[in-house]
Amino acid sequence: MAFLFLIPAFVAFGAFSYWPMIRGLLISFQETNLVDPATWVGLDNFTALLRDPLLSTAIANTLLFVGLGLLIGFPAPLILATVMSTVRKGAGIYRFLVYLPVVIPPVVAILLWKWFYDPGHGLFNELLGLAGLGPFPWLESPRTAMLSLVIQSTWAWMGSTVLIYLAALVTIPAELYEAAQMDGASIARRLWHITLPQLRPTIGLLLLLQLVSTTQVFTEPYVFTDGGPENSTLTVLLLIFRYAFRDGDYGQAAALAFLLAIFLGLLSTIYLRATRSWSSA
């Protein structure tokens, strides 16, 4: 009887989660073009993949996005949440404002920012121009395009991270702060010796989640720049998308996806190891 209730889950997870995973593994060793029957080709897809000069470009770009995302996007929500946790009256308005960008559909947000980034009449260059700065090329130069993507992406996703930090900050026992204060610890010392260590599990988890999600960045480079200029924003997922849905080379797309899955799996494994050693320490 219980199995009747599990049928929807079996269908959803079986057909649309497990089967595509297994199949992805299979077709990465096959030649598939949707017309002829698939044929086994061994490691051909992987060797073709490694011979594509765009692969190393895409990996380097993705790592740059991940790295800049950490540099810009990781400390900002932590600082914001800490400040917000000290607000006693009107905390709701802070939370409302910080989450507002998250509810804007990503494509709309990106098109909006594309307009702001416009080197000619965009909002950003006009505003910076008032201060005598610029004009900056933003999305139009290979040197600044990826940075522009990261800034927008940080703005778009920060709100949900802030709320998770806030939820964790609330659970820190007040006695810890009181005891430290009686011992004469300054606000800065309390922040360093109580708040940060107490947040460590949350920081670790959000770090993993950010790494996993930024490694799969797609919508930003696709809508902002379509990988340009000069392939400077071509990311791994965008390359997978092009192999599959522009070139019709599903095998090579699956091969790259397979390597990406291994990389993401490694990240999660490292995280699990690290958290285990923390909790046993």
Partner 1 sequence: MSLISHVEERRPAVRAAVRTVQWLTLAVLAVIGIGPLYMTVKGAVSPATDLIAEPLQLWPGDPRPENFGTAWNDLGIGHYLLNTLQVVGGSWAVQLVVAVTAGYALSVLRPRLGTVIYGAILATMFVPYTVSMTSLFLTIIDLGLVDSYWAIWLPAGASAFNVLLAKRFFDALPPELFAAARVDGANSWQLLTRIVLPMSRPILAVISLIAIMHSWKDFIWPLVAITDPAKQPISVALATLADQAPQDILIASMAMALAPPVLLFLVFQKYVVAGLGFTGVKG
Site for partner 1 in 213-232 (CB under 8 A): 216, 218-219, 222-223
Give how many residues touch partner 1 by CB under 8 A.
102
Q: How far is the CB of 195 from partner 1 (least distance, A)?
A: 6
Could you tell me if 62 and 235 are in contact, meaning their C-beta atoms sit under 8 angstroms apart? yes
Q: How far is the CB of 152 from partner 1 (least distance, A)?
A: 10
Site residues for partner 1, 120-179, by CB under 8 A, read 120-123, 126-127, 155, 157, 159-160, 163-164, 166-167, 169-170, 174, 177-178
Near partner 1 by CB under 8 A, which window of 43-51, 63-71, 136-144, 234-242? 234-242
Residue 207 CA to residue 74 CA, distance in Å, equals 8
DSSP state letter for 72: I
Could you tell me if 221 and 234 are in contact, meaning their C-beta atoms sit under 8 angstroms apart? yes
Structure-token match 């026992």, residue found: 173
Letters for 34-73 (x = contact with partner 1 by CB under 8 A, - = none) are x---------------------------------------
Phi then psi for residue 81, to 5 deg, are: -65, -40
Residue 59 CA to residue 52 CA, distance in Å, equals 12
Letters for 75-94 (x = contact with partner 1 by CB under 8 A, - = none) are -----x-xxxxxxx----xx
Radius of gyration of the chain (CA): 23
